Amino acid sequence: MRRAVAPSVWNLSDFNKCVVYMRAVFLLSSEVAVIGGGSSGLFTALDLSLRGYTVSLFDRNMIGSGTSGRFHGLLHSGARYAVTDPQAAAECQRESAILARIAPHAVEKTGGLFVSLSRTDSEYGERLRKSLSSLGIRFSTLDGNATLSIEPNLSRNVIESVEVDDGVLRAQPFLYSVAISCILNGVSIHPFSELKDARRERGRVEELTFVNTRTAQRMSFRPWAVVNAAGPWVAQVSKKFGIRMSILPAAGIMAVVPRRLSFRVINRMRQPSDGDIVLPYGGSSIAGTTASVLRSPDRFSIRRDDLQLLLEETSEMLPSIRELGFTRSYASVRPLIGTGNNSARAGRLSTRDFHVSGPDESGLSNYACVAGGKMTTSRLAGERAADAVDSMSGTRHRSLTAGRKLFNPAGTAGTKLLSSDIPEHDSLSSVLSMASGGTDAETAVNYLMLSYILRKSGARK
């Protein structure tokens, strides 16, 4: 194990030294399997590797091919959920500051506005300000004229706005940076490896069977511990371990407007609802989102009616959306933690917080699960999942992910690492085809990062 427990050993009694040594040896032979290469799984893997565990991460597809590569892009200041979900809001506030520090290359500190277009909106604004104050989330209030002077494309009907510290998180550079940081810390990444089966014996997971989705080859893996981080598929994966989970898959659609219409993230001043937010994303804007409860995370389509609803609602805030229209749309699914209620409204009412469970809930002594939450809070979700693994070994390591900068492709060392060993046949067209359909406009740097991950994947240290 790279990061040994050794430094603290020298101050301990002989007996304690022996216990610590035994634990270190135990960890050496302990390999943790993380199922799912979205932001939750990646941060779990990174956190565990920094604690000294040997980690293998498996995804049935490519890193970020689930919800994480198709999210809206909001780095939450916490304001969006301040009224309805204060715990998630407080976590977002802390975590967005951490992500801006550890991944500056993937964050645009745009700021955000909650805009009021009616008396009802302004009434909600009162509740919003109270909640923001009690959570200690920074804000300021602007009247209509001041709002229009900083965001001239907004509707002339703006009455007032609340300015907050929202930002934009770019999905691909962010996820690929976490993945490369994982690789640099010894995590073995296995894309295109779908978990098909799990063998349990005497209250433990003994063996996992994966199938390579490209070659149909089977691979078995005997983990010391397992973390299920399969996002909206978390219940399907937990079923393979004989565990029933109640989650609510809720789909959301987003649509791209071919112009950047605002400097800041524009939110409607009302309780989170359909079509209430537009993000500036590079040279475009992304309108979103909806929340409809599904039977299965794999069965949904983007309906015309939903796109029309997004157009109607978001153009109330930014009228030029009506003329410009949408150039493309995409969708993804969130695993809301079950309310026991499958109504459409439940998709909006469920908490946006994440949930981590360990052996106590599963009845399996080496199984943990992390589900739900936001991309903004996924570092914290990974930390809590790593705590759950620590508790299996009776150890308590400190999480290091909040204080470590992620791999940054922009630095000289980053560029050098990425451009090493590039196959000659790569071309811009493959850049575009590989990354199409996701949240980001494709860039050569994203492609180089992806290419590096693929070159290093499956390689064990």
Ligand X SMILES: Cc1cc2nc3c(=O)[nH]c(=O)nc-3n(C[C@H](O)[C@H](O)[C@H](O)COP(=O)(O)OP(=O)(O)OC[C@H]3O[C@@H](n4cnc5c(N)ncnc54)[C@H](O)[C@@H]3O)c2cc1C
CB of 154 to ligand X, least distance (A): 20
Pairs from 432-439 (Cβ < 8 Å, separation ≥ 24): 435/172, 437/70, 437/330, 438/64, 438/69, 438/70, 438/171, 438/172, 438/330, 439/69, 439/70, 439/71, 439/72, 439/73, 439/170, 439/171, 439/172, 439/254, 439/281, 439/286, 439/330
CB of 411 to ligand X, least distance (A): 25
Distance between CA atoms of residues 33 and 208, nearest Å: 9
Pick the closer one to ligand X by CB: 71 or 452: 71
Pick the closer one to ligand X by CB: 72 or 270: 72
Distance between CA atoms of residues 49 and 383, nearest Å: 11
Residue carrying the six token digits 């459409």: 344
Distance between CA atoms of residues 224 and 366, nearest Å: 7
Pick the closer one to ligand X by CB: 159 or 219: 219
Cis check: omega of the bond before 289, within 30 degrees of 0: yes
Residues linked to residue 32 through DSSP beta bridges, in sequence order: 55, 225
Pick the closer one to ligand X by CB: 233 or 241: 233
CB of 106 to ligand X, least distance (A): 12
Let me know: does 285 contact 318? Beta carbons within 8 Å.
yes
Pick the closer one to ligand X by CB: 1 or 205: 205
CB of 427 to ligand X, least distance (A): 26
CB of 157 to ligand X, least distance (A): 26
Residue 146 neighbours by CB under 8 Å, 6+ apart: none
Let me know: does 380 contact 47? Beta carbons within 8 Å.
no
- 3-state class (DSSP) for residue 329: strand
Q: In whole angstroms, how far apart are CA 340 and each of 87, 229, 258, 307, 371?
A: 20, 21, 40, 28, 16
Let me know: does 268 contact 317? Beta carbons within 8 Å.
yes
CB of 95 to ligand X, least distance (A): 9
State which amino acid sits at residue 221: F
Pick the closer one to ligand X by CB: 83 or 237: 237
Q: In whole angstroms, how far apart are CA 300 and each of 259, 274, 277, 313, 360?
A: 28, 17, 22, 22, 34
CB of 185 to ligand X, least distance (A): 18
Pick the closer one to ligand X by CB: 160 or 306: 306
Pick the closer one to ligand X by CB: 142 or 265: 265
Pick the closer one to ligand X by CB: 71 or 139: 71
CB of 73 to ligand X, least distance (A): 5
State which amino acid sits at residue 368: A
Pick the closer one to ligand X by CB: 88 or 117: 88
Helix (H) or strand (E) holding 362: helix 359-362
CB of 326 to ligand X, least distance (A): 15
CB of 192 to ligand X, least distance (A): 9
- Residues near ligand X (CB under 6 A) are 35-41, 58-61, 65-68, 71-74, 76, 194-195, 229-233, 237, 252, 289, 332-334, 373-376, 378
- 3-state class (DSSP) for residue 33: strand
Q: What are the φ/ψ torsions at residue 208 (nearest 5 degrees)?
A: -115, 140
CB of 17 to ligand X, least distance (A): 39
Pick the closer one to ligand X by CB: 146 or 294: 294
State which amino acid sits at residue 434: M
Helix (H) or strand (E) holding 180: helix 171-184
